[in-house]
Amino acid sequence: MTEPVELDAKGLDCPMPLLKAKRALNTMAAGERLRILATDQGSMRDFRVFAEQSGNELLSSQETADGVYIHLIEKA
């Protein structure tokens, strides 16, 4: 498995992390993975709902000790 594409959306407020992730996913092939780094607390909910609605798989979401949210999505 190749390394995920990384998207740094730290410092951006809702809905920008999600919009940038959607744009990145549109350029990716099925099965590729996107890792999003965000500081917006709402991104935890946003990416869960986005995955449910889009059919992409949210593989993980976690918060680091320094307040960065890391989401890993696999494109459907």
- Give the active site residues: 14
Place of tokens 């609605």: 53
| Angle ∠(39,73,68) on CA atoms, nearest 5 | 15
Place of tokens 């594409």: 5
How far is residue 62's CA from residue 55's CA, in Å, rounded to a whole number? 20
Residues in the chain: 76
